[in-house]
Amino acid sequence: MAQWKILITDKFTENGIEALSAAAEVEYQPGMTAGDVLASIPKFDALIVRGRTKVTADVFAAASNLKVVGRAGVGVDNIDLASAQSHHVTIVNSPTATTTAVAEHTLALMLALTKSVSRADAAMKSGRWTKKQLMGSELSGKVLGIIGLGNIGSAVAQRATALGMTVIGFDPLIADADVRNRGVDPVALDELYARADVISFHVPLNPSTRNMIDGQAIAHMKRGVYLVCTARGGVIDETALHSALESGQVAGAALDVYAQEPPGLTALVAHPNVIATPHIAAQTQEAQARASADIADEILAALRDEPLRWKIV
Ligand code: NAD
């Protein structure tokens, strides 16, 4: 049996560890510090991370045996892709494993936001009956604007359509005909801002999307819009969002991701019209098991020089 050495530095489910252990020596060190990753990496052929471990230029420079890095999940913004390329290290992810989980969480946030679920629950738990103060709104008949119509954006569109919403979307990298095939009416960004009652973000974080939702973008939206972000912190300018919540331009926001994680009790998190969850959208048992199985397959394929399904670089 080939004696590949695989290091796993973030949480990874048992099914994935078992699959890898059949073909390689596996060291499972979830929560490993950045310093320990740097010190240990030279002896490993493969590294598996989720979003916590930062795979920096220093890690690639120290990784003399590294052939492949697997990201169990979607976003690879914690991996220095340029360094990976210059050190000839393959990067793979599991782009579809968490789609359903994140789409369902997005819908949960959208529903919770428009029905004041967390505010109602908090009042009940403090012994208050706030029936008269809490007036919700319906999603049915409303316009949902989706920015980013890849796997998750499309899955959100399908579910929102089932709730009776009209779904419009913006994605500059997908042809209009393909957007229509996903049950979404393709529109320009300005039109989306002008028409949407709820806007949900499903773009990767990169230089073109960082702070794409700033004060100017929010000013173009319908007054009283609801914003939902399960994509990445950094897509929305949090200071601008807080001001817009204060002025009423944004009626409410539901966030799973933050510019800095954990964000602590910031003014945004504490805002009464914000629902905040701690980056848990992909955290279902099913999604995590799927991500581990997919990455285990992909890592072993890379080590064996077999064709890859999800090679990023
Ligand atoms: P995907 O690659 O399938 O889709 C992303 C889409 O965004 C693509 O279609 C792309 O064309 C589009 N896009 C890129 N730049 C854009 C721009 N400027 N404007 C509009 N559209 C743009 O990815 P996905 O699986 O749908 O995931 C989307 C994002 O969700 C990921 O990049 C990740 O950051 C985030 N995510 C978060 C969690 C979580 O736990 N909260 C879990 C998984 C993924």
309 in any annotated domain: no
Low-confidence ranges of the chain (pLDDT < 50): none
Nearest CA to ligand 1 atom 42: 282
The backbone torsions φ and ψ at residue 251, rounded to the nearest 5 degrees and listed phi first, read: -75, -30
d(CA 187, CA 176): 9
Nearest CA to ligand 1 atom 9: 150
Residues 177 and 216 placed together within one structural domain of the fold: yes
Query: Best of 52, 74, 213, 228 to mutate for ligand 1, by most ligand atoms within 8 A of CB?
Result: 74
pLDDT of residue 1: 58
147 in any annotated domain: yes
308 in any annotated domain: no
The finding on whether 272 has its CB within 6 A of some atom of ligand 1 is no
27 in any annotated domain: yes
pLDDT of residue 2: 67
What is the count of structural domains for the chain? 2
pLDDT of residue 113: 97
Residues 229 and 245 placed together within one structural domain of the fold: yes
The finding on whether 95 has its CB within 6 A of some atom of ligand 1 is yes
313 in any annotated domain: no
pLDDT digits (tens, 9 = 90+) for 185-235: 999 999 999 999 999 999 999 999 999 999 999 999 999 999 999 999 999
d(CA 266, CA 261): 11
pLDDT of residue 57: 98
Range of the domain at 72: 4-97+285-303
pLDDT digits (tens, 9 = 90+) for 222-240: 999 999 999 999 999 999 9
Residues 116 and 20 placed together within one structural domain of the fold: no
Helix axes 99-114, 285-303, angle to 10 degrees: 150
Nearest CA to ligand 1 atom 11: 173
Give every strand in the sheet of 46-49, ordered side by side: 24-28, 4-8, 46-49, 68-71, 90-93
The finding on whether 172 has its CB within 6 A of some atom of ligand 1 is yes
- Residue 132 CA to ligand 1 center (angstroms) comes to 39
Residue 216, domain CATH? 3.40.50.720
